[in-house]
Chain A
C-alpha cells in the first residue's frame, strides 16, 4: 500500500477521492495560528502517528515563528508605519516569507510522506487558515474500494 503511489502524478491518475479529514484550529493559546495535533481516527490505518505528529508540530512552529512579536516584527512594523505602509507594496513581509516556506514544506511532505500513502495535505492558506485538509485517496484500480473510517456520505460530500 505504501508503495502503491510513487508520486502525486500517479495519485492523480489512478486514485479516487474517498474522503477528507479536517484538522481544526487549536485556540487554547488565544488567536494565534495553531492546529490540533490530535491524531484523527480516519488516518489510523494510513500513516504512522509519529509522522503525522512531526508534520503538525513543524507546521505549528512555522506559524508561531511567523506570528512571533519580537525585534524583527517591531522593526518591520515601525518602518512600515513611518513610511505610511508604502513599503508593503515594495517588499515582502516576514509573514509572507514564512508562508512560502510552509508551502514548500507541505509540498515536500506530500511528496515524501503522504502521497506514497494515498494522502494529500492541503495548505491551510487555501482554506482561509481554518483547517488543514487531508484528502484520502483510494486506488481506483483496486477491487476493494472501501475506504477506511469513512462514512457512506463521503462520496456525496463533494
Chain B
C-alpha cells in the first residue's frame, strides 16, 4: 500500500502532537487553509513569477536596458538592412540573423530567470547540530561564542578552507560564495551580473556563456551586414565607378541604347584608382572670386588695349596709332614683362627712350621690304633703333624657337601669321 502512495516528509510538529484522526485524512487544524509554496516564504532577496517558475534578483539591474538595446538594434537591422541585402545578396541573411537573435534572447531569458544554484538555508536543527559539533571539541556548552569560521577539508591532496556563512548558517561547500545583492549562497558562484539581473552560478553559467557568445556573433553579423550595405550603397558605387548621379540616371555610359560597348571614358578601370581620384584628388580652387572687388569705370578703357596687344591682327591697328603710345601700353603689358624677365630692366627703358637720334642703317632696307607696310619715316627711325635694341632683347627672350640670324625672324617664328608680322614688334615678343 505504501508503495503506491507518494512518499512525504513526516512533519515533526505533527508527530510531537499525535491526533486521533486516521492518518490518510489530512489534519485540518495542523495545515493552513491555503498551502503556501516555498517561494512565498523564501528568505533570500529574490522575486518570483509564474507561481515560482521564474526567479530573478530583487534588483533587476539593467536587464530592461539590455533587452531594449538588443531588440532595438536587431529591429533596425531587420527593417532597414535586410530588405536591401536580400535583394542584392541572398535571403540567408535574415535567416541567419533571425537564428542568432532567437539564441540571444532565449539565452538571456534563461540566464536571468533560472536559479543560479542557490543553496537553501539550514534548518534550525541543522544549524544547531553544526554548532553542537563545533562546541564539542572544547567541551564547553557556551552558546554565545560563535562557531569557528573555517573548516578545512582536503580536496585532491590540497587543503581547502570552507567558510561558515552566518546568514545561511552552513559551512559553504567549495567554490560557493554568498551574494550580498541576492542574500543567498550560490554554488560555483561566478559573479552577479547586472546586465542580466541575476547571479551567474553553477546552474546558469552555460546559459550565460551561450548568451555572451551568441551576442558577440550577432553583433559581428549585424556590423558586417551594415558594412556590406554601405559598400553596396548608391554613392559608394558611384565613387568606385567614377560616375555621377546624373550619368547614372540617364544611363550615359551604361548603354542605354543597348550598346554594350559604351563604357565610362572617365573611369580608370580600377575601383581603388577611381575612389582615390574622386575622393583624394587635388582640390580645385574656387573660380568665382567671391571676395574680389568689382572694378571701377576708368579702368575699363585701358584694359581692352592691353588685351588686344598679343593678337596678330592688332599689328595693323598699331601701325596707324602713335608708336610711342603703343610702346607705352606694351610696356605695361603683362606678356612683355612675363616673357622676358631678364630683359626687363633693359627692355623697358629701351622702349621708352625717345628715339629721334636714330639714323637709318643699311639693315633697315631689308626690314622695309619684309615689313611691306611702312609708309612714314618716323616708324623707320624707330625701327632702326628698335632693331638695334631688338638684337639685344632677342638674346634674352627665352621663347625663341629658331636660330635665325635675324632677330625679328626669330621672334616672328612664334607667330602663326607671318604676313602680319611687323618688325617693330618683333622684339616685343
Contacts and interface: CB of A to CB of B under 8 A. Distances in A.
13 contacts: A9-B2, A12-B10, A17-B12, A17-B15, A22-B129, A31-B188, A85-B107, A85-B206, A85-B210, A106-B7, A111-B3, A120-B10, A130-B122
A8 B6 CA distance: 12
B18 A158 contact: no
A85 B108 CA distance: 11
Contacts of B173: 25, 27, 31, 130
A147 interface: no
Interface in B163-220: 170, 173-175, 187-188, 206-207, 210
Given A27-B173, A84-B103, A85-B107, A20 B15 contact: no
B210 A127 contact: no
Contacts of B9: 122-123, 126
B207 A127 contact: no
Q: Give the dominant DSSP class at A's interface.
A: mixed
Contact of B18 (A106, A122, A140): A140
Contacts of B170: 130
A13 B23 contact: yes
Given A81-B210, A85-B107, A158-B125, 14 more contacts: A8-B2, A8-B10, A20-B129, A25-B173, A27-B153, A27-B160, A27-B162, A84-B103, A84-B106, A107-B7, A122-B9, A130-B170, A133-B125, A158-B124
A128 B121 CA distance: 8
A47 interface: no
A131 B175 CA distance: 17
A55 interface: no
Contacts of A16: 15-16
A111 B3 CA distance: 9
A5 interface: no
A158 B12 CA distance: 8
A43 interface: no
The interface size bin for chain A is 35 or more
The DSSP consensus for interface residues of chain B is mixed
B328 interface: no
Contacts of B206: 77, 81, 85
A111 B1 CA distance: 11
Interface of B: 2-3, 7, 9-10, 12-16, 18, 23, 102-103, 106-107, 110, 119-120, 122-126, 128-129, 132, 153-156, 160, 162, 170, 173-175, 187-188, 206-207, 210
A85 B106 contact: yes
B252 to A, nearest CB: 53
A137 B2 CA distance: 19
A12 to B, nearest CB: 6
Contacts of B107: 84-85
Contacts of B207: 85
Contacts of B210: 81, 84-85
A86 B106 contact: yes
B119 A30 contact: no
Given A28-B155, A84-B103, A131-B126, A17 B23 contact: no
Interface string A18-29: 001110010111
B188 A30 contact: no
Contacts of B2: 7-9, 111
A153 interface: yes
A43 to B, nearest CB: 14
Nearest to A27: B153
B181 to A, nearest CB: 20
A133 B120 CA distance: 15
Interface in A83-122: 84-86, 103, 106-107, 110-111, 120, 122
Given A17-B16, A20-B129, A11 B10 contact: yes
Contacts of A146: none
